[in-house]
Structure 1
């Protein structure tokens, strides 16, 4: 399918082994993001995997708690990346559609 080819090309183009360390260092060095998150006024849906090896579930919960009115969707068994198979996609798409439809009201 076209989307798998596109994802593979993006991965191949952007893969950098040291990137993970660099990005994690940047996240840690930035410090507390809660004051900035508290100023978010856009409707927000936080999607977080329960098996994320980089950001524990508590990080997703804290993010959702810090954004006024945010909703949290925990995806059982999902890691840090979006799933490559069908598994969680129906749940993700359904949550996103419901979230976006709220903006029409």
Structure 2
């Protein structure tokens, strides 16, 4: 099961209306395309690094602070940890804060023109 299926299944089970930086873990293996966003309740064990909802300081932030933090984390994964940018984008697309911060024509956006 890929990450999009996991996220979709989580949403369909009615456990949450949408994943966000307070109820989801950002998980990754540096230098790879292995990047995921998963519910905090079931992050798995196959990743070396974690962020976002794994930390109390992030869970205490307001929406705009979390939105900025999500984009900062994205840059850390891409630049510092050399994760694949498309994999980072695909994983973060599950988050409310990331979607809110992306332009309407961002690849993957339901608002993007075809």
TM over 0.5: no
Q: TM-score, normalised by structure 2?
A: 0.32
Q: TM-score, normalised by structure 1?
A: 0.34
User: RCO (CA 8 Å, sep 6+): is it higher in 1 or 2?
Assistant: 2
- In terms of fraction of residues, the more helix-rich structure is 1
